[in-house]
Protein backbone atom coordinates (compact mmCIF):
# COMPACT_ATOMS: atom_id res chain seq x y z
CA UNK A 1 0.00 0.00 0.00
CA UNK A 2 2.78 2.46 0.80
CA UNK A 3 3.88 2.58 -2.86
CA UNK A 4 0.50 3.89 -4.04
CA UNK A 5 -0.37 7.57 -4.46
CA UNK A 6 -2.02 8.99 -1.34
CA UNK A 7 -5.50 9.26 -2.90
CA UNK A 8 -5.36 5.61 -3.97
CA UNK A 9 -4.30 4.56 -0.47
CA UNK A 10 -7.23 6.47 1.01
CA UNK A 11 -9.66 4.69 -1.28
CA UNK A 12 -8.39 1.31 -0.07
CA UNK A 13 -8.73 2.19 3.60
CA UNK A 14 -11.24 0.11 5.55
CA UNK A 15 -14.42 1.79 6.73
CA UNK A 16 -17.34 0.94 8.99
CA UNK A 17 -20.33 1.51 6.74
CA UNK A 18 -23.26 0.25 8.81
CA UNK A 19 -24.01 -1.24 12.24
CA UNK A 20 -26.92 -3.38 13.37
CA UNK A 21 -27.68 -4.85 16.77
CA UNK A 22 -30.29 -6.65 18.78
CA UNK A 23 -32.03 -4.99 21.69
CA UNK A 24 -30.06 -5.77 24.83
CA UNK A 25 -31.82 -8.08 27.26
CA UNK A 26 -31.30 -8.46 30.98
CA UNK A 27 -29.76 -11.63 32.34
CA UNK A 28 -32.60 -14.18 32.43
CA UNK A 29 -34.87 -11.52 30.94
CA UNK A 30 -36.57 -11.19 27.57
CA UNK A 31 -33.95 -13.38 25.82
CA UNK A 32 -33.63 -15.92 28.62
CA UNK A 33 -34.24 -18.83 26.24
CA UNK A 34 -32.71 -17.32 23.08
CA UNK A 35 -29.35 -18.85 22.26
CA UNK A 36 -26.38 -16.81 21.12
CA UNK A 37 -26.47 -17.98 17.51
CA UNK A 38 -30.13 -16.98 17.19
CA UNK A 39 -29.40 -13.47 18.49
CA UNK A 40 -26.51 -13.21 16.07
CA UNK A 41 -28.38 -14.67 13.09
CA UNK A 42 -30.98 -11.91 13.28
CA UNK A 43 -28.44 -9.10 13.02
CA UNK A 44 -26.35 -10.87 10.39
CA UNK A 45 -29.42 -11.21 8.20
CA UNK A 46 -30.37 -7.55 8.70
CA UNK A 47 -26.84 -6.23 8.08
CA UNK A 48 -26.43 -8.32 4.93
CA UNK A 49 -29.84 -7.18 3.64
CA UNK A 50 -29.54 -3.51 4.58
CA UNK A 51 -26.05 -3.15 3.13
CA UNK A 52 -27.30 -4.57 -0.18
CA UNK A 53 -24.33 -6.88 -0.47
CA UNK A 54 -23.89 -8.88 -3.68
CA UNK A 55 -24.43 -12.59 -3.09
CA UNK A 56 -20.80 -13.43 -3.82
CA UNK A 57 -19.38 -10.30 -2.18
CA UNK A 58 -19.25 -11.28 1.49
CA UNK A 59 -15.81 -12.69 2.30
CA UNK A 60 -16.35 -13.72 5.90
CA UNK A 61 -18.21 -13.23 9.16
CA UNK A 62 -15.89 -12.58 12.13
CA UNK A 63 -17.48 -12.67 15.57
CA UNK A 64 -16.25 -12.25 19.13
CA UNK A 65 -17.72 -14.45 21.86
CA UNK A 66 -16.54 -14.89 25.44
CA UNK A 67 -18.87 -17.14 27.42
CA UNK A 68 -20.25 -19.49 24.80
CA UNK A 69 -20.00 -23.23 24.59
CA UNK A 70 -17.24 -23.39 22.02
CA UNK A 71 -17.62 -24.43 18.42
CA UNK A 72 -17.88 -21.70 15.80
CA UNK A 73 -20.88 -19.50 16.57
CA UNK A 74 -20.04 -17.25 13.60
CA UNK A 75 -20.51 -20.14 11.14
CA UNK A 76 -23.60 -21.49 12.90
CA UNK A 77 -25.28 -18.08 12.92
CA UNK A 78 -24.30 -17.28 9.33
CA UNK A 79 -26.02 -20.44 8.14
CA UNK A 80 -29.04 -19.77 10.36
CA UNK A 81 -29.22 -16.25 8.90
CA UNK A 82 -29.45 -17.59 5.37
CA UNK A 83 -26.10 -16.18 4.26
CA UNK A 84 -24.44 -17.93 1.31
CA UNK A 85 -23.03 -21.29 2.34
CA UNK A 86 -19.67 -20.22 0.90
CA UNK A 87 -19.22 -17.67 3.72
CA UNK A 88 -17.04 -19.57 6.24
CA UNK A 89 -17.31 -17.78 9.61
CA UNK A 90 -14.64 -17.17 12.25
CA UNK A 91 -15.13 -16.91 16.03
CA UNK A 92 -12.51 -15.22 18.21
CA UNK A 93 -12.13 -14.77 21.97
CA UNK A 94 -10.32 -12.00 23.79
CA UNK A 95 -13.09 -11.88 26.38
CA UNK A 96 -14.66 -8.41 26.66
CA UNK A 97 -12.42 -7.04 23.89
CA UNK A 98 -13.54 -9.70 21.41
CA UNK A 99 -16.09 -7.64 19.48
CA UNK A 100 -13.66 -4.76 18.93
CA UNK A 101 -10.90 -7.18 17.96
CA UNK A 102 -13.23 -8.84 15.43
CA UNK A 103 -13.96 -5.49 13.76
CA UNK A 104 -10.28 -4.51 13.78
CA UNK A 105 -9.35 -7.83 12.16
CA UNK A 106 -11.97 -7.34 9.45
CA UNK A 107 -10.61 -3.86 8.75
CA UNK A 108 -7.08 -5.20 8.36
CA UNK A 109 -8.29 -7.95 6.04
CA UNK A 110 -10.02 -5.39 3.83
CA UNK A 111 -6.86 -3.29 3.66
CA UNK A 112 -4.76 -6.34 2.80
CA UNK A 113 -7.26 -7.11 0.01
CA UNK A 114 -8.17 -10.46 1.52
CA UNK A 115 -11.83 -9.74 0.79
CA UNK A 116 -14.22 -7.03 -0.33
CA UNK A 117 -16.91 -7.08 2.36
CA UNK A 118 -16.95 -8.45 5.90
CA UNK A 119 -19.49 -8.51 8.70
CA UNK A 120 -17.79 -8.38 12.09
CA UNK A 121 -18.82 -7.85 15.69
CA UNK A 122 -19.77 -9.89 18.71
CA UNK A 123 -22.47 -11.80 20.53
CA UNK A 124 -23.18 -12.99 24.05
CA UNK A 125 -26.01 -14.83 25.69
CA UNK A 126 -25.23 -14.69 29.38
CA UNK A 127 -28.63 -16.25 30.03
CA UNK A 128 -27.97 -19.44 28.05
CA UNK A 129 -24.19 -19.72 28.50
CA UNK A 130 -23.37 -23.33 29.40
CA UNK A 131 -22.35 -24.48 32.83
CA UNK A 132 -18.62 -25.08 33.12
CA UNK A 133 -17.06 -28.18 34.64
CA UNK A 134 -13.84 -30.16 34.80
CA UNK A 135 -13.85 -33.93 35.08
CA UNK A 136 -12.99 -35.04 38.62
CA UNK A 137 -9.85 -37.14 38.66
CA UNK A 138 -11.02 -38.82 41.86
CA UNK A 139 -14.29 -39.87 40.24
CA UNK A 140 -13.93 -40.25 36.48
CA UNK A 141 -16.81 -38.73 34.57
CA UNK A 142 -18.17 -36.72 37.50
CA UNK A 143 -18.28 -32.93 37.01
CA UNK A 144 -16.33 -30.41 39.04
CA UNK A 145 -18.23 -27.19 38.33
CA UNK A 146 -16.50 -23.81 38.19
CA UNK A 147 -17.85 -20.32 37.51
CA UNK A 148 -15.28 -18.93 35.11
CA UNK A 149 -12.11 -19.74 33.24
CA UNK A 150 -8.70 -18.89 34.67
CA UNK A 151 -7.11 -15.87 32.95
CA UNK A 152 -3.78 -15.56 34.81
CA UNK A 153 -1.69 -17.76 37.11
CA UNK A 154 -1.87 -17.12 40.84
CA UNK A 155 1.66 -15.70 40.70
CA UNK A 156 0.20 -12.73 38.82
CA UNK A 157 -3.18 -12.68 40.55
CA UNK A 158 -6.42 -13.71 38.90
CA UNK A 159 -9.15 -11.74 40.67
CA UNK A 160 -12.81 -11.76 39.77
CA UNK A 161 -13.97 -8.73 37.79
CA UNK A 162 -15.51 -7.15 40.87
CA UNK A 163 -12.43 -7.64 43.00
CA UNK A 164 -10.27 -6.24 40.20
CA UNK A 165 -12.49 -3.14 40.18
CA UNK A 166 -11.93 -2.76 43.92
CA UNK A 167 -8.19 -3.14 43.33
CA UNK A 168 -8.29 -0.40 40.70
CA UNK A 169 -10.31 1.94 42.94
CA UNK A 170 -7.79 1.50 45.75
CA UNK A 171 -4.73 1.83 43.51
CA UNK A 172 -5.98 5.04 41.89
CA UNK A 173 -7.63 6.60 44.93
CA UNK A 174 -11.11 6.59 43.42
CA UNK A 175 -13.81 7.20 46.01
CA UNK A 176 -17.36 5.83 46.16
CA UNK A 177 -18.98 9.20 45.42
CA UNK A 178 -16.86 9.63 42.26
CA UNK A 179 -17.98 6.24 41.00
CA UNK A 180 -21.62 6.97 41.72
CA UNK A 181 -21.40 10.37 40.04
CA UNK A 182 -19.90 8.83 36.91
CA UNK A 183 -22.54 6.08 36.89
CA UNK A 184 -25.36 8.59 37.17
CA UNK A 185 -24.00 10.46 34.16
CA UNK A 186 -23.98 7.20 32.20
CA UNK A 187 -27.59 6.47 33.11
CA UNK A 188 -28.65 10.00 32.14
CA UNK A 189 -26.80 10.00 28.83
CA UNK A 190 -28.08 6.56 27.88
CA UNK A 191 -31.67 7.59 28.53
CA UNK A 192 -31.21 10.67 26.32
CA UNK A 193 -29.69 8.61 23.48
CA UNK A 194 -32.22 5.74 23.39
CA UNK A 195 -34.49 7.26 20.73
CA UNK A 196 -31.54 7.73 18.40
CA UNK A 197 -30.63 4.05 18.65
CA UNK A 198 -33.86 2.75 17.14
CA UNK A 199 -32.63 2.70 13.52
CA UNK A 200 -29.82 0.25 14.29
CA UNK A 201 -31.92 -2.16 16.39
CA UNK A 202 -33.23 -5.36 14.81
CA UNK A 203 -36.43 -6.56 16.56
CA UNK A 204 -36.37 -10.11 17.91
CA UNK A 205 -39.34 -12.07 19.23
CA UNK A 206 -41.44 -8.93 19.43
CA UNK A 207 -38.79 -6.99 21.37
CA UNK A 208 -37.57 -3.82 19.66
CA UNK A 209 -36.12 -1.79 22.56
CA UNK A 210 -33.44 -2.38 25.14
CA UNK A 211 -34.69 -4.07 28.26
CA UNK A 212 -31.52 -3.20 30.13
CA UNK A 213 -31.33 0.57 30.87
CA UNK A 214 -31.78 1.39 34.53
CA UNK A 215 -34.36 4.14 34.33
CA UNK A 216 -35.14 6.60 37.07
CA UNK A 217 -31.72 6.34 38.68
CA UNK A 218 -30.78 9.18 41.05
CA UNK A 219 -27.81 9.96 43.24
CA UNK A 220 -29.96 9.18 46.28
CA UNK A 221 -30.79 5.72 44.95
CA UNK A 222 -27.16 5.07 44.06
CA UNK A 223 -26.05 5.97 47.56
CA UNK A 224 -28.22 3.18 49.01
CA UNK A 225 -26.43 0.32 47.22
CA UNK A 226 -24.18 -1.66 49.59
CA UNK A 227 -20.68 -2.75 48.54
CA UNK A 228 -21.02 -5.73 46.22
CA UNK A 229 -17.66 -7.47 46.45
CA UNK A 230 -15.94 -6.59 49.75
CA UNK A 231 -17.52 -5.47 53.00
CA UNK A 232 -15.65 -2.16 53.12
CA UNK A 233 -15.51 -1.66 49.37
CA UNK A 234 -16.73 1.14 47.09
CA UNK A 235 -17.87 -0.90 44.09
CA UNK A 236 -21.62 -1.54 44.12
CA UNK A 237 -24.29 -2.93 41.84
CA UNK A 238 -25.18 0.68 41.06
CA UNK A 239 -21.75 1.67 39.73
CA UNK A 240 -21.14 -1.69 38.03
CA UNK A 241 -22.55 -3.00 34.77
CA UNK A 242 -25.16 -5.75 34.58
CA UNK A 243 -24.67 -8.91 32.53
CA UNK A 244 -26.70 -8.77 29.32
CA UNK A 245 -27.71 -10.71 26.23
CA UNK A 246 -27.19 -9.21 22.78
CA UNK A 247 -25.39 -9.09 19.45
CA UNK A 248 -23.82 -6.20 17.53
CA UNK A 249 -22.27 -6.30 14.05
CA UNK A 250 -20.67 -3.87 11.62
CA UNK A 251 -20.38 -4.00 7.84
CA UNK A 252 -16.73 -3.44 6.89
CA UNK A 253 -15.44 -2.67 3.40
CA UNK A 254 -13.13 -0.28 1.59
CA UNK A 255 -13.77 3.42 1.25
CA UNK A 256 -14.13 3.06 -2.53
CA UNK A 257 -16.67 0.24 -2.29
CA UNK A 258 -18.66 2.05 0.39
CA UNK A 259 -18.91 5.12 -1.83
CA UNK A 260 -19.98 3.05 -4.84
CA UNK A 261 -22.64 1.33 -2.71
CA UNK A 262 -24.14 4.71 -1.75
CA UNK A 263 -23.01 4.99 1.87
CA UNK A 264 -22.49 8.49 3.18
CA UNK A 265 -21.04 9.03 6.66
CA UNK A 266 -18.61 6.24 7.58
CA UNK A 267 -15.87 5.57 10.12
CA UNK A 268 -12.51 5.21 8.43
CA UNK A 269 -10.19 2.77 10.23
CA UNK A 270 -6.78 4.12 11.19
CA UNK A 271 -5.35 1.31 13.23
CA UNK A 272 -5.75 -0.73 16.40
CA UNK A 273 -3.53 -1.96 19.20
CA UNK A 274 -3.73 -4.51 21.98
CA UNK A 275 -1.72 -4.32 25.16
CA UNK A 276 -1.17 -6.19 28.40
CA UNK A 277 -1.15 -4.91 31.96
CA UNK A 278 -1.28 -6.24 35.50
CA UNK A 279 -4.00 -8.93 35.71
CA UNK A 280 -4.91 -7.72 39.22
CA UNK A 281 -5.76 -4.30 37.71
CA UNK A 282 -7.20 -5.53 34.45
CA UNK A 283 -9.79 -2.78 34.20
CA UNK A 284 -7.10 -0.32 33.06
CA UNK A 285 -5.61 -2.42 30.26
CA UNK A 286 -7.74 -0.62 27.67
CA UNK A 287 -5.95 2.62 28.56
CA UNK A 288 -2.58 0.95 27.96
CA UNK A 289 -3.86 -0.14 24.55
CA UNK A 290 -4.95 3.44 23.77
CA UNK A 291 -1.52 4.82 24.65
CA UNK A 292 0.15 2.20 22.48
CA UNK A 293 -2.25 2.98 19.62
CA UNK A 294 -1.79 6.75 19.78
CA UNK A 295 1.98 6.35 19.77
CA UNK A 296 1.82 3.93 16.87
CA UNK A 297 -0.25 6.19 14.62
CA UNK A 298 1.36 9.38 15.96
CA UNK A 299 -1.91 10.90 17.11
CA UNK A 300 -2.13 13.38 19.97
CA UNK A 301 -4.92 12.56 22.42
CA UNK A 302 -6.11 16.18 22.21
CA UNK A 303 -7.00 15.60 18.56
CA UNK A 304 -9.57 12.94 19.55
CA UNK A 305 -13.06 14.42 19.66
CA UNK A 306 -15.06 11.29 20.57
CA UNK A 307 -14.11 8.58 23.06
CA UNK A 308 -15.85 5.27 23.78
CA UNK A 309 -14.55 3.25 26.73
CA UNK A 310 -16.38 0.14 27.86
CA UNK A 311 -18.07 0.68 31.22
CA UNK A 312 -17.79 -2.60 33.07
CA UNK A 313 -17.20 -0.62 36.28
CA UNK A 314 -17.14 3.11 36.94
CA UNK A 315 -13.89 2.67 38.87
CA UNK A 316 -12.03 1.27 35.87
CA UNK A 317 -13.28 4.02 33.54
CA UNK A 318 -12.22 6.74 35.98
CA UNK A 319 -8.80 5.15 36.48
CA UNK A 320 -8.32 4.82 32.73
CA UNK A 321 -9.28 8.46 32.24
CA UNK A 322 -6.51 9.33 34.71
CA UNK A 323 -3.98 7.29 32.75
CA UNK A 324 -5.04 8.89 29.47
CA UNK A 325 -5.23 12.44 30.80
CA UNK A 326 -8.80 12.76 29.51
CA UNK A 327 -11.63 14.33 31.51
CA UNK A 328 -14.19 11.62 32.38
CA UNK A 329 -17.09 13.71 31.06
CA UNK A 330 -15.56 13.48 27.57
CA UNK A 331 -16.08 9.71 27.53
CA UNK A 332 -19.18 7.88 26.30
CA UNK A 333 -21.42 10.72 25.16
CA UNK A 334 -24.29 8.29 24.58
CA UNK A 335 -23.88 6.50 27.89
CA UNK A 336 -22.53 3.02 28.27
CA UNK A 337 -22.63 -0.45 29.72
CA UNK A 338 -23.30 0.79 33.25
CA UNK A 339 -26.75 1.70 31.97
CA UNK A 340 -27.46 -0.61 29.03
CA UNK A 341 -25.59 -3.72 30.19
CA UNK A 342 -22.55 -5.73 29.16
CA UNK A 343 -22.97 -8.65 26.72
CA UNK A 344 -19.27 -9.48 26.98
CA UNK A 345 -18.33 -10.52 23.46
CA UNK A 346 -20.53 -7.85 21.88
CA UNK A 347 -19.59 -4.83 24.00
CA UNK A 348 -16.55 -3.81 21.94
CA UNK A 349 -18.69 -3.79 18.81
CA UNK A 350 -21.29 -1.68 20.62
CA UNK A 351 -18.64 1.00 21.12
CA UNK A 352 -18.16 1.16 17.35
CA UNK A 353 -21.93 1.37 16.80
CA UNK A 354 -22.01 4.27 19.26
CA UNK A 355 -19.23 6.06 17.36
CA UNK A 356 -20.91 5.61 13.98
CA UNK A 357 -24.23 6.86 15.34
CA UNK A 358 -22.61 9.92 16.88
CA UNK A 359 -20.69 10.67 13.68
CA UNK A 360 -23.89 10.71 11.63
CA UNK A 361 -25.94 12.87 14.01
CA UNK A 362 -26.43 16.62 13.57
CA UNK A 363 -23.85 18.30 15.74
CA UNK A 364 -21.72 15.15 15.88
CA UNK A 365 -18.07 14.89 14.80
CA UNK A 366 -19.14 14.46 11.17
CA UNK A 367 -16.66 16.83 9.53
CA UNK A 368 -14.02 14.98 7.51
CA UNK A 369 -11.10 14.25 9.81
CA UNK A 370 -12.96 14.01 13.13
CA UNK A 371 -11.05 11.48 15.22
CA UNK A 372 -12.63 8.90 17.51
CA UNK A 373 -11.23 6.10 19.67
CA UNK A 374 -12.87 2.97 21.12
CA UNK A 375 -11.24 0.94 23.90
CA UNK A 376 -12.04 -2.12 26.03
CA UNK A 377 -10.35 -3.74 29.01
CA UNK A 378 -10.60 -7.50 29.32
CA UNK A 379 -9.95 -10.28 31.81
CA UNK A 380 -6.36 -11.32 32.35
CA UNK A 381 -5.04 -7.79 32.03
CA UNK A 382 -5.40 -7.22 28.28
CA UNK A 383 -7.00 -4.40 26.36
CA UNK A 384 -7.74 -3.37 22.79
CA UNK A 385 -8.20 0.06 21.24
CA UNK A 386 -9.03 1.24 17.71
CA UNK A 387 -8.92 4.65 16.03
CA UNK A 388 -11.28 5.99 13.36
CA UNK A 389 -11.90 9.20 11.43
CA UNK A 390 -15.29 10.40 10.29
CA UNK A 391 -15.53 10.62 6.51
CA UNK A 392 -18.40 11.89 4.34
CA UNK A 393 -18.27 10.00 1.06
CA UNK A 394 -21.04 11.56 -1.04
Calpha distance 241→326 (Å, rounded): 22
Q: Where are the beta strands (DSSP E) in the chain?
A: 14-21, 25-26, 58-64, 90-92, 117-125, 132-135, 143-146, 244-254, 265-276, 304-309, 370-378, 382-392
Residue 227's CB is within 10 A of a number of other CB atoms, namely: 15
Which of 178, 217, 212, 215 has the alpha carbon at shortest distance from 314? Answer: 178
What one-character-per-residue DSSP string does 31-72 give?
TTT--HHHHHHHHHHHHHHHTT--TTTEEEEEEE-SSS-SS-
β-strands 304-309, 370-378: how paired?
parallel
| Active-site pick, 45, 270, 334, 342 | 342
Nearest to 59 by CA among 43, 46, 74: 74
Spot the catalytic one: 19, 96, 107, 126: 96
Please give the Cα distance from 375 to 97 (Å, whole number). Answer: 8
Q: Is 19 a catalytic residue?
A: no
Known catalytic residue at 241: no
Regarding beta strands 265-276 and 244-254, do their DSSP bridges make them parallel or antiparallel, or are they unpaired? unpaired
Report helix, strand and coil shares of the chain as percent, to nearest 5: 40, 25, 35
Q: Which residues contact 27 (CB under 8 A, 6 or more apart)?
A: 126, 127, 242, 243, 244, 245
Residues 18, 360: contact at Cβ < 8 Å? no
Active centre residues (catalytic):
96, 342
Amino acid sequence: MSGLPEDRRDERRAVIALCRRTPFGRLRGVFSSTEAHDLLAAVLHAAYRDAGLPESGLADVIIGNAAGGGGNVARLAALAAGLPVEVPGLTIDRQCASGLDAISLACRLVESEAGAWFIAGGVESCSTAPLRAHRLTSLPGAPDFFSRARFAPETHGDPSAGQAAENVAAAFGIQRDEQDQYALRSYTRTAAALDGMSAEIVPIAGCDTDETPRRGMTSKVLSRFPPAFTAAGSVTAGNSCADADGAVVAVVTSRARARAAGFNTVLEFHGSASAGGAPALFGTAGAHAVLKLLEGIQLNRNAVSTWEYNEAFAAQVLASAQLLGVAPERLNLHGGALAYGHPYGASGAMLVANLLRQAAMPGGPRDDGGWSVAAVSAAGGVGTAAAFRTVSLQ
